Amino acid sequence: MIWLGVAAAAVLVIIIVAVSGGDDETTDTTAAATTTAAPTTEAPETTEAPSDTTEAPSDTTEAPAETTTTAAAAAPIRIAIVAPSASNDLAFTQSIVDGVNAIAAEREIAEIAITDGTFVVDDAAAAIRDYAANGFDLVVAHGSQYGGSLQEIAPDFPETSFAWGTAADTFGLPNVFAYEAASDEGGFVMGVIGAALTESGTIGIVGPIEVGDAKLYVDGFKAGAEANDSGVTVNINYTGSFSDVALASEAAQAHAAAGADVMSGTAQMVVGAISVAADQNILWFGTQANQATLAPEIVVASQVYKWEVVLSDILDKVAGGTLGGSSYVIDLENGGLVLEFNEDFTLSDDVKALADQTVADIISGAIVPTE
Amino acid sequence: MSDFFTEAVLIATVAGAIRLAVPLLLAALGETFGQRSGVLNLGVDGIMLLGAFSGYYTVLKTGNVWYGLLAGIGIGVILGLASSLISVTLLAEQGISGIGVYLFGLGMSDLLFQRLVGTPVPISKFPKIDIPGLSDIPWLGGMFFSHSVVVYLAFLAVPAAMFVINRTTFGMNIRAVGENPEAADSLGVSVSRVRWATVTIGGTFAGAAGAALAIDLGIFQQNLTNAQGFIAIALVYFGAWRPLGVMAGALLYGFVNSLVLQFKTLGIIPQSWSDIAAMAPAIITILALVIVARRFRAPSALTKPFTRGT
């Protein structure tokens, strides 16, 4: 009977972990878990990080422009990436892998090493430390939940440069860069397009957990849709998991039942929602990577992250001897965020013009997507 | 709240509950066989994941969903036999060996997916069948009689499992072996043979559950099941080791999940509460478990390996 109890307890613990689903990007739970391990003196800084992340975009947009070393004659360097999901997830992790590969096409890079699928923060921390110890010049910790670990690891390797995202906080460390995406900008533009295309007047958004990059995107999309047409209803459903494909699929079913004929969503579990949208001929807007391959008939556009814009500048700095200390934001203006329209989907000239105008207005500052 | 009581939303809520329940129901029914005979297999989720990948991959390559389901079942049989070897013949500690099977399935399914497929590609799904006559009934038709074919198969498996467990000699042997293996053994029932059979049945159902999930979603991704196999094990306890109870548990779990999703979509649950609401199904299941555990007794020999003459 004892074993019965133990087994039942184990099952329940696993269920709770699974259902709370905090295994990717900026989850509060994982961040909290890592910060408790950090020395108490550092704790106040780390606990502030989440709020910084959401507020930072507008403050730090100038950062890329401050480049001092322009295209220094870079010696071949070695880059390592540690990321939570699969390298080809058509979402968060793929964006950084594509970014590094794009850089590799332009510059001489001796080696690119990738450890993906590190949902477990401890595994990621081990990989980050391993790469640093093995003499990689730049170690990219692609996941805000890795921040607590990075804060402990980076001081041990003062010769190594670390990049951390999506986040705004460099912990005041001289060898840490932070990067994030103003994903609300592309979200806003696609929200405007979505409101122009909806016939039912209802839009559905599937999100993972209401934090960080996901929240920024969803808020931007909603603001854009409502800015274009105040009569549009935007239903938002955060499923509570970055990985539960079945739940994302059912969330899309719920949106369809509520009358949505335009949908969007963010994080890698949305493949389940896209499939439902395709079945019911509901239009889809993607983010983080171009999702048109998943459903060519219904994907209107995708907001694509071009991290190479940031990486290029970081590599310049590293070559010039500056190993960290600044934070970056990719946005529509600096070309780090790009709207890729699906060529198989015909968009009317009016709507296309509206989209272009919205992009121009955001770049000029005439429109501020979210507060 | 008035948004909720519309035909479209109510139908979607109930139909969604049923869809969400199906993989859990299949996996839990299979696990019921094993547990009734005294074997706890914690590897269900791993078997589901490999079943899901093999089902997905087969459909991707052949375009035939039935081959996909068969592939999932085939993998389930193989892993069920492997689990039997580990826990019945090698007498491994059941609370631990199943976790090994789970981790194997989790890692292997992702490795195979990355090596053989890579970027997710959509596949065709099970055909939806509107049951003639019944599907035309207002409201109820859309809720219960307009589903993919695997949904009907899963619910048909419930009476089948009841019949086997309660009405056949094999079922009687299962129960005897699970309650008092020594007595069963002395009466000439081969404990290990019965347990090999039940654990393999469990693996078969788990493989089918995984394939059903992947082919119903039309996609595969790392950790597609998201620990549904563990929920299925909990549902066996919830259902007090009876197929009908297991079905009730799977439906309850699916229904709470579906209801929470609808409420969030319609804004009935405020957005700021959505992360907490996402835990509701787990909490309700735990509460139900606590209540059920006080009323029903588990098979006496559950988790106890059997060796003759001890």
Nearest residue in B to A206, CA atom: B265
Cα Rg, chain A, nearest whole Å: 21
Residue B302 has pLDDT above 70, yes or no: yes
Q: Are A25 and A213 in contact (CB under 8 A)?
A: yes
Structure tokens of B47? 């078997």
Contacts of B226 in chain A (CB under 8 A): 18, 21, 241, 243-247
How far apart are alpha carbons A206 and A208 in whole angstroms? Answer: 7
State whether A238 and B264 contact (CB < 8 Å): yes
State whether B282 and A246 contact (CB < 8 Å): no
Contacts of B119 in chain A (CB under 8 A): 88, 90, 293
Phi-psi region of A288 (alpha: psi -120 to 50; beta: other; left: phi over 0): left
The conformation of residue B272, written as its DSSP 8-state character, comes to G
Label residue A219 by pLDDT band (50, 70, 90): very high
Q: Which helix (H) or strand (E) holds B38?
A: none
CATH number at A183-305+338-364: 3.40.50.2300
Q: List the single residue in B120, B233, B282 with the smallest CB-CB distance to A271.
A: B120
Nearest residue in B to A90, CA atom: B119
Q: What is the pLDDT of residue A34?
A: 34
Residue A29 has pLDDT above 50, yes or no: no
Phi-psi region of A225 (alpha: psi -120 to 50; beta: other; left: phi over 0): alpha
Contacts of A258 in chain B (CB under 8 A): 3, 8-9, 262, 265-266
Contacts of B120 in chain A (CB under 8 A): 88-90, 271, 294
Q: What is the pLDDT of residue A19?
A: 41
Nearest to B86 by CA among B75, B68, B100, B72: B100
Average pLDDT, chain B: 91
How far apart are alpha carbons A303 and B75 in whole angstroms? Answer: 39
State whether B222 and A86 contact (CB < 8 Å): yes
CATH number at B7-127+138-295: 1.10.3470
Provide mean pLDDT across the span B126-154.
92
Residue B1 has pLDDT above 70, yes or no: no
> Shortest Cα distance from B255 to chain A (angstroms)?
11
Is A28-182+307-330's fold the same as A183-305+338-364's? yes
Q: What is the tens place of the pLDDT at every residue in B54-76?
A: 999 999 999 999 999 999 999 99
Q: Are A110 and A77 in contact (CB under 8 A)?
A: yes
State whether A254 and B119 contact (CB < 8 Å): no
Lowest mean pLDDT among A42-46, A158-162, A278-282, B18-22: A42-46
Nearest residue in B to A251, CA atom: B261
State whether B8 and A271 contact (CB < 8 Å): no
Residue A264 has pLDDT above 60, yes or no: yes
Tell me which amino acid residue B62 is.
T
Label residue A144 by pLDDT band (50, 70, 90): confident
Contacts of B125 in chain A (CB under 8 A): 275, 279
Residue A210 has pLDDT above 60, yes or no: yes
In chain B, what's the furthest Cα-to-Cα distance?
Answer: 66
Q: List the single residue in B110, B118, B224 with the smallest CB-CB distance to A245.
A: B224
Provide mean pLDDT across the span B21-38.
97
> Shortest Cα distance from A116 to chain B (angstroms)?
11
CA atoms within 13 A on the CB side of A52: 22
Residue A180 has pLDDT above 60, yes or no: yes
Residue B207 has pLDDT above 90, yes or no: yes
ipTM: 0.90
State which fold the A28-182+307-330 domain adopts: Rossmann fold (3.40.50)
State whether B9 and A257 contact (CB < 8 Å): yes
Q: What is the pLDDT of residue A118?
A: 86
| Residue that wins the pLDDT comparison between A348 and A11 | A348
Q: Are A67 and A313 in contact (CB under 8 A)?
A: yes
Give A29-38 contacts, CB < 8 A, sequence gap 24+: A30/A121, A30/A145, A31/A144, A31/A145, A31/A147, A31/A148, A33/A121, A33/A148, A34/A121, A34/A145, A34/A146, A34/A147, A34/A148, A34/A149, A35/A148, A37/A148, A37/A152, A38/A148, A38/A151, A38/A152
Q: What is the pLDDT of residue A75?
A: 62
CA atoms within 13 A on the CB side of B51: 35
The pTM (predicted TM-score) of the whole model is 0.83
> Shortest Cα distance from B1 to chain A (angstroms)?
12
Neighbours of A370 (CB within 10 A): 21
Best of B221, B258, B294 to mutate (most A CBs within 10 Å, chain A): B221
The conformation of residue B120, written as its DSSP 8-state character, comes to -
Locate the domains of chain B by residue range: 7-127+138-295
State whether A237 and B264 contact (CB < 8 Å): yes
Residue A335 has pLDDT above 70, yes or no: yes
Contacts of A246 in chain B (CB under 8 A): 20, 23, 213, 217, 224, 226, 228
| Residue that wins the pLDDT comparison between A345 and A61 | A345
Best of B31, B94, B222, B265 to mutate (most A CBs within 10 Å, chain A): B265
Residue A162 has pLDDT above 50, yes or no: yes
Structure tokens of A25? 């990007």
Locate the domains of chain A by residue range: 28-182+307-330, 183-305+338-364
| Residue that wins the pLDDT comparison between A65 and B53 | B53
Q: What is the tens place of the pLDDT at every residue in B224-269?
A: 999 999 999 989 988 889 999 999 999 999 998 999 999 988 888 8
Q: What is the pLDDT of residue B285?
A: 72
State whether B272 and A7 contact (CB < 8 Å): no
Provide mean pLDDT across the span B139-160.
94
Residue A162 main-chain phi, psi, to 5 deg: -120, 140
Label residue A53 by pLDDT band (50, 70, 90): very low
Best of A244, A274, A288, A298 to mutate (most B CBs within 10 Å, chain B): A244
How far apart are alpha carbons B222 and B106 in whole angstroms? Answer: 8
Nearest to B149 by CA among B22, B294, B60: B22
Q: What is the pLDDT of residue A202?
A: 96
Contacts of A275 in chain B (CB under 8 A): 122, 125, 217-219
State whether A237 and B8 contact (CB < 8 Å): no
Contacts of B286 in chain A (CB under 8 A): 12, 15
Nearest residue in A to B5, CA atom: A258
| Residue that wins the pLDDT comparison between A109 and A14 | A109
State whether A238 and B286 contact (CB < 8 Å): no
Chain centroid to Cα A308, Å, comes to 14
Q: List the single residue in A117, A236, A250 with the smallest CB-CB distance to B110.
A: A117
Q: What is the pLDDT of residue B293?
A: 66
**Bridge partner residues of B148 (DSSP):** B128
Contacts of A238 in chain B (CB under 8 A): 264, 271, 274-275, 278
Residue B177 has pLDDT above 80, yes or no: yes
State whether A239 and B217 contact (CB < 8 Å): no
How far apart are alpha carbons A238 and A254 in whole angstroms? Answer: 12
> Shortest Cα distance from A127 to chain B (angstroms)?
17
Token pair 């209801």 is found at B259
Q: What is the tens place of the pLDDT at every residue in B276-301?
A: 777 887 787 778 777 776 778 888 88
Using a pLDDT cut of 70, give the percent of chain A over it.
Answer: 80
Label residue A177 by pLDDT band (50, 70, 90): very high
| Residue that wins the pLDDT comparison between A26 and B112 | B112
